[in-house]
Structure 1
Amino acid sequence: MRVGILGWDREEPESHSLVTVGLDRRHEVTLFTLDDIRCRTGPAGPVTYIDQVPAGDFDVVLSRAEIRADRVQADYERYALLCAVPGLRVMDPLDVYFAVENKTLTLQRLATAGLPIVPTITCRDVAEVRAAVTEWGTVVVKPSFSYGGTDVERVSDADAEQHVVERLLKTYQLVICQPYVPHPDGDFRITVVGDRAVLNFQRVPAPHDWRANTMQGASVREAEPPAELVELAVRATRTVGISVSGLDFVPGPDGWRILEINNTPGWYLSKPDDQRRTVEAIYELVESDHARR
């Protein structure tokens, strides 16, 4: 197969591991980014290119695209152009990939399917954040489109911390609020490929932070999640229709709840054997899908 890896960027370890394993499996593999997608007019009309190569020359594209907050419209257009190429399989297509980018929409879909989520509301102003604090006590305020723990803040006094809330609202116009769920021992990250949970670990907050996010200094340790979490992770992945997902679970007084789903889960902090096994599982899914088509 001729495989395109739509990478987060050209340096991301996960994107490079997809290239390495793809070559080992005797595929022709090209790493590119959203900035490499362009449209040119040819004799038969507009043609979408990946750098200098017609996108139609590829059999499949595996996406780990970064949808940038300051370039959403351009990134959306490039992704749409790629998905509109006849005969090209993009995993995952535009509607699925962009829907999972939106935390609010994804959690709403999961809740509608009867899956346990962390309660979530959208807030347009300081008054609505204050009401969330009144209802839940300490809350987590964050944008619906974000990654890596960026602009994720904990607020327990909406008046004293009004400047924090105002800054987020000025930047994003709309934020989401969730009750803060203490998890000093970390949360569970379960990575699902197709209908299999292939990688499980706990993310433990750094001593100076409360966020269980590796980009904020959290550490990773091996841990086997309860069987119920694995089942929930697979069900949630099927519900949103994504091929590869990373689900974060936090404990609560009434059991585990889904905090969010990631469409570009990371595995670079795992052991080399676990990294390899994860990427091999992705290619097994891709090859099986290609054989069926």
Structure 2
Amino acid sequence: MRRQGKKGLNPPRALESAVDKFLASELLQSHGLDIPHTFCCQDSDTAMEAFERFGKDIVVKPLFGAEGRGILRIEDEQLAWRVFRAIEKIGGVIYLQPYIKHPGWDLRIFILGDKVLGGMKRTAPQGAWMTNVAQGGKGEAYKLNSNLETIGIKACKAVGAEIAGVDLILDENGKWLVLEVNAVPGWKAFAPVTGIDIAREILIYANHS
């Protein structure tokens, strides 16, 4: 599209950087942002060592994915081994992080250029741990402070995006960690709870950039 002279808000490199969870983690960390401890490998034995090191309570994620699809929380050693072996057999990448003990909710911050459009608190369903609205989480407007806004903008710039949804989680020590930067953020849940006309904001931004 860009070679044809057409406007695109996020350059191809930003899309590639955000969709690859491991690359995104590296970029976020290199920009001084706090992220969950992350481990990536392709063999089961090494993954089991990380499972032990992370306290036998981990989250396994597909390297490429969205909306919480394919994410598993594993606390059982035998299950961990079976999952790691299955990924190894198909030549996949084992991407895992320690489970972050959190208050049952996290944040989605919507960034457009240098502007924070708003924040949404996502609360996990009763008895569940995943907060994604696509997985049954409940969204509500959240008033962001300047620190959260700064983290959101910094995370967006770390992957080179102009528009992004930045997901943050509060760990048990009260530290905000960047979980993910979504360079193709939807706003089906975000717009109704925040009252922000995201489509209008994007059109205004595109016409003036």
* Fold equivalence (TM over 0.5): yes
Aligned residue identity for 2:137: A
Percent identity for Structure 1 against Structure 2: 26
Choose which of 177, 181, 200 in structure 2 pairs with 1:280: 200
SS at match of 1:221: strand
Contact 2:61 2:95 in 1 (8 A): yes
Q: 2:15 maps to which residue? A: 97
Aligned-partner Cα distance in 2 for 1:201–1:282: 18
Aligned-partner Cα distance in 2 for 1:272–1:159: 43
May I ask how many residue pairs the two structures share in their alignment? Answer: 207
Q: Please tell me whether residue 179 in structure 1 is matched to residue 98 in structure 2.
A: yes
Q: 1:240 maps to which residue? A: 159
SS at match of 2:197: helix
Contact 1:148 1:216 in 2 (8 A): yes
Contact 1:184 1:210 in 2 (8 A): no
Contact 1:133 1:157 in 2 (8 A): no
Choose which of 125, 136, 143 in structure 2 pairs with 1:217: 136
Deviation at 1:271, TM superposition (A): 5.0
Aligned residue identity for 1:152: I
Q: 1:230 maps to which residue? A: 149
Deviation at 1:245, TM superposition (A): 0.5
Which runs of 5 or more structure 2 residues have no equivalent in the other structure? none
Deviation at 1:275, TM superposition (A): 5.6
SS at match of 1:90: coil
Deviation at 1:204, TM superposition (A): 0.9
Q: Please tell me whether residue 192 in structure 1 is matched to residue 111 in structure 2.
A: yes
Change (3 A) 1:272 1:214: closer
Alignment of 1:64-103 (within 5 A): 82-85=1-4, 87-103=5-21
Report the more deviating stretch, 269-278 or 209-218: 269-278
Aligned-partner Cα distance in 2 for 1:270–1:246: 10
Aligned-partner Cα distance in 2 for 1:234–1:244: 10
SS at match of 1:282: helix
Deviation at 1:276, TM superposition (A): 4.7
Choose which of 181, 186, 204 in structure 2 pairs with 1:266: 186
Q: 1:53-75, CA deviations, whole angstroms, 9 ceiling, x for partnerless residues?
A: xxxxxxxxxxxxxxxxxxxxxxx
Aligned residue identity for 1:181: I
Specify which structure has the bigger relative contact order, considering alpha-carbon pairs within 8 angstroms and separated by 6 or more residues. Answer: 2
| TM-score, reference length from structure 2 | 0.89
Contact 2:107 2:120 in 1 (8 A): yes
Q: Please tell me whether residue 107 in structure 1 is matched to residue 25 in structure 2.
A: yes
Contact 2:42 2:94 in 1 (8 A): yes
Report the more deviating stretch, 183-192 or 157-166: 157-166
Report the more deviating stretch, 220-229 or 113-122: 220-229
Q: 2:44 maps to which residue? A: 126
Aligned-partner Cα distance in 1 for 2:201–2:42: 41
Q: 1:192-250, CA deviations, whole angstroms, 9 ceiling, x for partnerless residues?
A: 01111112111111124211111111111222234311111011112222111011111
Which structure: larger Rg?
1
Give the alignment's Cα RMSD to 1 decimal.
Answer: 2.0
Aligned residue identity for 2:99: Y
SS at match of 1:161: helix
| TM-score, reference length from structure 1 | 0.65
Aligned residue identity for 2:185: P
Aligned-partner Cα distance in 2 for 1:108–1:245: 17
Change (3 A) 1:275 1:93: farther
